[in-house]
Amino acid sequence: MLQELQGHVVHHARPDSREVQLGKTQRGQPMVLYRGFAYYGTRKAKRGYHHWYCVSRNFGRCRANIYTTQDLRITNVFDLHTHGPPSFYRNSRGEFVKVRQDRYP
């Protein structure tokens, strides 16, 4: 089901949970990657769901977020990002590390 809400797109879907990668930041905070975008800060929502926010929420004012179940199945997606997907890799400790792009050519 696709629903429009105040100019934003909210998906009520159950995509394959393999699309979600769970890991941690270098500071030890939980983080997930979903469709190339990173989300942090799991806050337990009603009925045991977890609320994840885009990592650009504070700096880029991006309001994208997702809700998952305990086993990382997506229940709701608000994926209208204000930026392109950042690049991440996993280091030897399994942490997600953002690939920095040069700001000056």
- 69: phi > 0 → left, psi -120 to 50 → alpha, else beta; which? beta
Q: Say what the pTM is.
A: 0.70
Residue type, 91: N
Q: How far apart are CA 97 and CA 87, in angstroms?
A: 8
pLDDT tens-digit profile of 24-62? 888 888 888 898 899 987 667 777 888 899 988 877 789
The pair of structure tokens assigned to 29 is 């905070």
Q: State the fold for domain 2-98.
A: N-terminal domain of TfIIb (2.20.25)
- Give me the helices (H) in 37-101, please: none
Distance CA 3, CA 46 (A): 21
